[in-house]
Structure 1
Amino acid sequence: MMKPNWKILTVAALLFVGIPMLSIVGSGRSLQAGNAYALSTDINPVGTNRITEVVKWNDQAVVGVHSTMKVAQMRGSSPHKPFGQTPFGPGAPMPQPAPQGSGSGFIIDAEGHVLTNNHVVDGADKVQVQLHDGKEYEAELIGQDAVTDIALLKIVRKDGHTSPLPHMKLGDSATLDVGEWVVAIGNPFGLQHTVTTGIVSAKGRNLGAGPYDAFIQTDASINPGNSGGPLLNMNGDVVGINTMILSGNGGNVGIGFAIPINMAKSIVSDLMKDGKVTRGWLGVTIQKMTLELASSFGLNEPQGVLVNGVLPKGPAERGGLLRGDVIVQYNGQELADFADLPKLVAKTRPGETVTLNILRNGKPATVQITIEKMQERQA
């Protein structure tokens, strides 16, 4: 597969030419008992008020997250002198503005946890969240995962402010269909609570950004500042986190990408508990099965994933997996695509024993492997 040109793959949170910016703004839905907004019965929004209803139901849970990074070193100053020690004058050090920015995020529970992109808040010194009513709060970075580009924040409210916050319902991205209508809400170019709509253009897009790529592609307009905002289906459920665009000029050309919400749901508990994600590790290097490789292994068609390396003293070696084995099932799940195996292993809890159905020398076999914890050096 031809790799995308990363020179034109633009992270949607970076905006405002000449000013380093990082910020989050999102849209959210909060369903409190008794005030659910009635949706139309027809899932096709054409000729109905469904999109309007979805927006009314969710907009209050979209937040603007404004992040500030560390203050740049003063021009001409000694790194050992703090601000204010030297009088201002010709050639004197001057404080440089802290890089700032804005992006998007959305509240996922009544306590005020917010999902956004990791690239929106990574390295930030201070994060503030602006609610739909304009009120601003500081936000605590609860956890982040650079591999999936997902971060979890928590709105910090004063003591005594415990009223439930509006929040969104997380849907099931696995049930999305290509051609299905979706709505994106966010802060493109700093324009708060902007709504765009379109369809799901494709699913499972692998852009080479990481081992767990499976982006939702949409033609709903996504622009700089939309990063971290929600992608909603016509039931008003979050099905994705808007993340990046493919563009030659930094603006929308109808090709945007969102992280499937199921990926976020699978790691939220880890982020809340530990601030990071614990993933399983198999200890192999793998290769995609081609028609030529399949023929050399005596197979009529490509299937499974070829093991082209087994790491010493790793779980695969201890479980008896060999170089040249073809893994066709992981714990009963068919490996229809080469990228399925890393995702399944990553979701497996360390210490769990899994069954691999393999082909060894063209004959079916099984091995039992106890998955171990992935270390940073193994990622």
Structure 2
Amino acid sequence: MKNLSTLFGVSLLSGVVTLGSYKLLFDTDGYFSKDNGSVVTMASNSYGKRVGLASEVLDFTEAADKTIHTVVHVKNVSRTTVSNPILEYFYGFKGGQSQQQVGTGSGVIISEDGYIVTNNHVIKDASEIEITLNNKKSYKAKLIGTDSKMDIALLKIDAGEKLQYTAFANSDSVKVGEWVLAVGNPYNLNSTVTAGIVSAKARNLDTSGIQSFIQTDAAVNPGNSGGALVNTRGELIGINTMISSPTGSYTGYSFAVPSNITRKIIEDLMEFGNVQRGILGVEGGELNSMSSKDYGISLTQGFYINKVTKNSGADKAGLAKGDVIVKIDEQNISTFADLSGYINTKRPNDKVQVTYSRDGKTKTVLVTLSKNEFFNAEFKGITLENIEAADKKKFKIDYGVRIKGISDEKWQQYEEELVGSIILSIDNVKATDVETVSKKFGKIEDNQKVRIELISKNGELLRFYM
């Protein structure tokens, strides 16, 4: 009888344990329930870590539906004249034959009255621009302005009705690993949506212009340029611009101009007709373990100041060579792309809080940004400065740097001819601005000859070695 009671007690206890385990693991709120949508993984410290895979996390339908109606197809029609040298030589035929070229890309409606943002390279050299909405309606577009350095262009259509548009998000708040959607027209396939995550922020691809991309693994192909990169709420965080590929098609990563930079550019184009750029007034480079060792400092992240431009905002605020910028306002600065990306969202006379390290101590100063035109550099006794809109119009160019002055005796005999001339390229690298030129000069040895192409004050194209 006693054995029977013991057996009954053990059976009852086993049943309670089994039922409790089932409720804990498999019932409605259990770890392995069908409704939970979570997977338990074990970390090295043996604590359970829940990874969210619930269906609602991966539902992009609302964001896609909001975005596809605001992304447009951009058709660029350009005309070129092709001459026939044989006809010209034997028959005196002049004029050549006109040929039409058509390019396509994407754009994003950013206001209900028809403003559209796209890439500059999508509409470059266009004689006509046609916009086709998601509802198949087409309109002729007017070019409001461009920024070739940042590869952004602003268009305007008159649809005669209020249009759906995509709202801007704060691209500084985007996190690596965040889900995003790329919406555009690859290979003329309208309203194509692809999904991925943010792979990296402030990616510097060493281009002459943009130096702070958002990198994503959402599939982007030719035709996607100018399209939208949006978050899961359907808000614009970037303009898809380029891919990294040996084949010309998507192979893993794509890059977008951050929305904060884009928004600042188009606001400038609307208000001023050109882009207002402010500069901090420092030159240098980002830190790593090797450069930190060379500089004799312990920090391995931040922007090391190697030179401060005289009379710039940085100079007036007391920044000096050897300082390491670690933060601007609330933006941490680990790389040059962090610094340039944030400053590119600012205008001349804007004030920023710069946090820097000097002699092991952290300090913060208020810096007023200078005008970009103020920025200049010196190379081989020649001082250079950025050109203004009037120069671009006069010489019919959209880039170049002006020779401001001559300090080297061997060039002073040519001072009258050189000062005021505009350098177009150095060793076939476009002189888009002084920053680009300064970066190029930094890689040239003192005794190394460089090939210069410039336009003289009289408009004559000259080439020589310096």
TM-score strictly above 0.5: yes
**C-alpha contact 1:353 1:368 (8 A) present in aligned 2:** yes
**Alignment partner, residue 20 of structure 1:** none
Higher relative contact order (CA 8 A, sep 6+): 1
Structure having the larger proportion of residues in helix: 2
Deviations 1:320-348 (A, max 9, x none): 43333333444575433333333343433
- For residues 352 and 174 of structure 2, the distance between their equivalents in structure 1, rounded to whole angstroms, comes to 29
* Aligned counterpart for 1:104 among listed residues 84, 88, 106: 106
For structure 1, list consecutive stretches of 5 or more residues without a partner in the other structure. Answer: 1-41, 80-88
- Residue 142 of structure 2 is matched in structure 1 by 140
Query: Which secondary structure does the structure 2 equivalent of 1:241 belong to?
Result: strand
- Show CA shifts across 1:274-327 (max 9, x none): 232111123321122333554576643335322212334444444443333333
Deviation at 1:354, TM superposition (A): 4.6
Q: Distance in 1 between the 2:62 and 2:343 partners?
A: 39
Return the offset for 1:136: 1.5
Match of 1:31 in 2: none
Mapped partners of 2:277, 2:165: distance in 1: 28
8 Å CA contact retained: 2:130, 2:140: yes
Please give the TM-score of this superposition, normalised by the length of structure 2: 0.61
Contact 2:71 2:109 in 1 (8 A): yes
Q: Is residue 54 from structure 1 mapped to residue 63 from structure 2 by the alignment?
A: yes
| Corresponding residue of 2:153 | 151
Q: Does 1:114 align with 2:123?
A: no
Pairing 1:257–2:259 present = no
Report deviation, 1:91.
Answer: 7.5
Alignment of 1:272-351 (within 5 A): 272-291=270-289, 293-294=291-292, 299-331=297-329, 334-351=332-349
CA–CA separation in structure 1 for the residues paired with 2:64 and 2:331: 37
Cα deviations by residue, 1:92-132 (Å, 9 ceiling, x for unpaired) = 86523222200001111110011111111122222111112
Tell me how far apart the structure 2 counterparts of residues 350 and 339 of structure 1 sit (CA, whole Å). Answer: 19
In 1: Cα distance, 2:371 partner to 2:364 partner: 22
Cα–Cα, structure 1 residues 366 and 155, in superposed 2: closer, same or farther, change >3 Å? same
Deviation digits for residues 26-46 of structure 1 (CA, Å, limit 9, x no counterpart): xxxxxxxxxxxxxxxx99784
Measure, in 2, the Cα distance between the counterparts of 1:357 and 1:47: 41
Structure 2 residue aligned with 1:23: none
| 2:151 maps to amino acid | D
Structure 1 residue 155: Cα displacement: 0.8
Q: Retained in 1: the 8 A contact 2:287–2:299?
A: no
- Deviation of 1:198 (Å): 2.7
Q: Distance in 1 between matches of 2:113 and 2:86?
A: 44
How far 1:369 sits from its partner (Å)? 4.2
- The structure-2 alpha-carbon separation of the partners of 1:264 and 1:130, relative to structure 1 and needing over 3 Å to count, comes to same
Aligned residues of 2:261 and 2:345 also touching (Cα < 8 A): no
Distance apart, 1:63 and its partner CA: 0.9
Pairwise CA distance, 1:353: 4.8
Once residues 74 and 54 of structure 2 are traced to their aligned partners in structure 1, the CA distance between those partners, rounded to angstroms, is 30
Which residues of 2 match residues 171-320 of structure 1 at below 5 A?
A: 171-210=169-208, 212-291=210-289, 293-294=291-292, 299-320=297-318
Q: Contact between 1:77 and 1:92, CA under 8 Å: does it hold in 2? A: no
In structure 2, the gaps of 5 or more residues are 1-36, 38-51, 374-385, 387-400, 402-433, 436-466
Aligned-partner SS, 2:232: coil
Letter in 1 for 2:98: Q
Residue pair 1:58, 1:168 contacting (<8 A) in 2 also:
yes
- 2:133 maps to which of 126, 131, 145: 131
Which stretch of structure 1 is more off in the superposition, 319-328 or 229-238? Answer: 319-328
Separation (CA, whole Å) in 2 of partners of 1:324 and 1:44: 48
The answer to whether residue 84 in structure 2 is matched with residue 75 in structure 1 is: yes
Matched, 1:63 2:69: no
Distance 2:179 2:351 in 1: 40
Q: CA deviation at 1:355?
A: 5.0
User: Based on CA coordinates, which of the two structures has the bigger radius of gyration?
Assistant: 2
- Kindly state the Cα deviation for residue 251 of structure 1 after the two structures are TM-superposed: 1.4
User: What SS class does the counterpart of residue 347 from structure 1 fall into?
Assistant: coil
SS of 2:163's equivalent? coil
CA contact (8 A) 1:170 1:237 kept: yes
Deviations 1:222-258 (A, max 9, x none): 1111100112222222222111111121112122222
CA contact (8 A) 2:186 2:224 kept: yes
Q: 1:359 & 1:238 partners in 2: Cα distance?
A: 35
The more displaced of 139-148 and 89-98 is 89-98
Amino acid at match of 1:214: S
**Distance of aligned partners of 1:156 and 1:309 in 2 relative to their CA distance in 1, 3 Å threshold:** same
Shift of 1:75: 3.2
Whole-angstrom CA distance in 2 between matches of 1:364 and 1:51: 44
Matching residue's letter, 1:112: G
* Per-residue Cα deviation, 1:46-101 (whole angstroms, up to 9, x for no partner): 4789333333332222211111224234434999xxxxxxxxx9978652322220
Distance 1:339 1:73 in 2: 42
TM-score by length of 1: 0.74
Distance in 1 (alpha carbons) for counterparts of 2:286 and 2:154: 34
- What is the one-letter code of the residue matched to 1:153? L
In structure 2, distance between residues paired with 1:300 and 1:176:
30
